[in-house]
Structure 1
Amino acid sequence: MAKVFASERRKIIMEKLQEHKRVTVKELSEEMQVSEATLRTDLTKMEEDGLLQRTHGGAILVENIDNETNFFSREKRNKNEKSAIAKKAVELISNGQCIMLDASSTALELARTLNDLPIRLMVVTSGINTALELKDHPNITVILLGGIVKKGSYSLEGHLGVNILKQINIDMLFTSANGFSFESGLMDFSVYEVELKKAMVSASKKVVALLDHTKINKNSIAPFASIDQIDTIITDFDITADYADKFQEHNIEVIVASPEKNVY
């Protein structure tokens, strides 16, 4: 069997965890023809990244990881930050454009902001909630990409929507991610959802990443946009001089959003 690289091994591990909720080192070793010691190292690193929980002889998909795919759980997190990011994102959108929104809770916040504006747009989206949010706007035409409805979520995944993307000129994609790093770019938790996200990135003239501070320097299992495919990042993350230099090196525009502070 050909050598299986670490990223490929970890993708296989996550696929099995998402399907069976648990894996054993012995079974993984037999299937991938990789030593148990190597796999234990993989599981330890993945646990450090918050992707699983180690058990005696293997690993399980812990409850809080399962919640990563629960839309309502994600929507409640960092609400002020997402609202501030959405308001900055709207400033990039012009009348008459065709934009694309992924199924993230931050993109839904952007849709809510757009819904209050007298703007004329075509919006392509993989988010069911996002499509429903915009469906009654008098001047916004909504196209919902086809796909498989993801369990515990309001997003679509798979290749069914790819053909639609080939027929539309997308000016700008607004997408969030489960994690971002300079090495891997934008990453997500679901290895299935990223297949559609990759096609969305490829079909867009410009890619704008909507990333609250919890997403920066966070690893996830499946990359869908390399660092060189990202044009703009909107974030509330405190950008240091070192980070600014790295973003400039990759020709990425960074827009900093300042969330409103709760007053009690």
Structure 2
Amino acid sequence: MKKMFAPERRKLILDKLTDQKRVTIKDLSKVIDVSAATLRTDLSKMEEEGLLKRTHGGAMLANQTDSETSFFIREQKNRCEKAAIAQKALQLLSNGQCIMLDASSTALELARLLKETPLRLTVVTSGINTALELNSHPNITVILLGGIVKKGSESLEGTLGINILNQIHIDIMFTSANGFSIESGLTDFSMYEVELKKSMVQASKKIVALLDQTKMNKISIASFATTDQIDMIITDHEMPEGYSEKLAEHHVDIIIASSDSY
């Protein structure tokens, strides 16, 4: 078997967990040609991301209602930081734009701010809560992408909504991610959501990543946008050492939002 990169290994581990509910390092070593130490590192990293629970000698599938993948838990985590990031994102908007909001809890914070403004916009979103938040706004037209309702996430995933993206010009896409690194770009843990987000990125003229400090220098299962595809990052904290210079090389602007007022 050819050597796998970490995201490929972790996707395979997640696939096996989905099928079998639990795995052992011994079993994984038979299909993935890496050391037991590397597999333990993979499992530990995936546990940090809420994808699984470590057990003696292996792992078991995390309870999705208790893991970080639960939308309610993600929404409450770092709420002040997300609100500050959303406030900076709001300043990028003007009347007549067509924008994209993903199903992230940070994009939902931006939708809550938009609800209180007189801005005239078209908002395309894969987030059910985001669509409902803006539905009563007299000057905002909401387009909800079709797809499968993801359990525990309040989001739509899959490729059913892709066709409509070919018919719409998106000025700015606002998106968060499970993780971001210079090498891997924006990454997420759901392969189905990643496929939809890739199409959302392709349909958008400008990509703005909304990333609180817990997302930085973190890699999840699969990438949906490379660093070269990102135009701007809005975050609540100074970048990790060396990031600002590297992002400048990729022509990515950085905005630091302060959460002191929240």
1:172–1:112 Cα change, 3 Å = same
Partner residue, 1:214: 214
Distance 2:21 2:257 in 1: 37
Q: 42, 45, 48: which one pairs with 1:45?
A: 42
Instruction: State whether structure 2 residue 187 is matched by structure 1 residue 187.
Output: yes
Instruction: State whether structure 2 residue 232 is matched by structure 1 residue 232.
Output: yes
Helix, strand or coil at the partner of 1:217: coil
Gaps of 5+ in 2: none
Partner residue, 1:3: 2
1:242–1:65 Cα change, 3 Å = farther
Partner residue, 1:74: 74
Matches within 5 A, 1:121-160: 121-160=121-160
1:198–1:59 Cα change, 3 Å = same
Helix, strand or coil at the partner of 1:149: strand
How many residue pairs are counted as aligned between the two chains? 258
Distance 2:251 2:82 in 1: 24
Distance 2:166 2:27 in 1: 41
Alignment deviations for residues 10-37 of structure 1 (CA, whole Å, 9 cap, x no partner): 211123324543223454455x4x34x5
Shift of 1:65: 9.2
Contact 2:25 2:39 (8 Å CA) reproduced: no
Contact 1:43 1:54 (8 Å CA) reproduced: no
- The one-letter amino acid of 1:41's match is T
Contact 2:64 2:152 (8 Å CA) reproduced: no
CA RMSD after TM alignment:
2.1
Matches within 5 A, 1:13-162: 13-29=13-29, 32=31, 34-35=32-33, 38=35, 41-48=38-45, 50-51=48-49, 52-63=52-63, 67-162=67-162
Percent identity (aligned): 63
- The one-letter amino acid of 2:140's match is I
1:237–1:63 Cα change, 3 Å = farther
Shift of 1:62: 3.8
Matches within 5 A, 1:170-185: 170-185=170-185
Shift of 1:178: 0.8
Helix, strand or coil at the partner of 1:183: coil
Helix, strand or coil at the partner of 2:258: coil
Contact 2:127 2:155 (8 Å CA) reproduced: yes
Alignment deviations for residues 139-161 of structure 1 (CA, whole Å, 9 cap, x no partner): 10000000110011100111101
Shift of 1:207: 0.5
Shift of 1:229: 0.7
Distance 1:15 1:209 in 2: 28
Q: If the length of structure 1 is used for normalisation, what is the TM-score?
A: 0.90
Shift of 1:244: 1.9
Shift of 1:61: 3.0
Moved over 6 A (4+): none
Shift of 1:104: 0.3
Shift of 1:114: 0.5
- The one-letter amino acid of 1:45's match is D
Distance 1:165 1:227 in 2: 22
Helix, strand or coil at the partner of 1:81: helix
Gaps of 5+ in 1: none
Alignment deviations for residues 58-98 of structure 1 (CA, whole Å, 9 cap, x no partner): 22234589522211111111111111111100111111010
Q: If the length of structure 2 is used for normalisation, what is the TM-score?
A: 0.90
After superposing the two structures, state which structure 1 stretch, 101-110 or 245-254, moved more.
245-254
Distance 2:54 2:241 in 1: 37
Shift of 1:130: 0.1
Helix, strand or coil at the partner of 1:255: strand
- The one-letter amino acid of 1:242's match is G
1:228–1:3 Cα change, 3 Å = same
Partner residue, 1:257: 257
Helix, strand or coil at the partner of 1:69: coil
- The one-letter amino acid of 2:39's match is D
Distance 2:65 2:179 in 1: 14
After superposing the two structures, state which structure 1 stretch, 116-125 or 67-76, moved more.
67-76
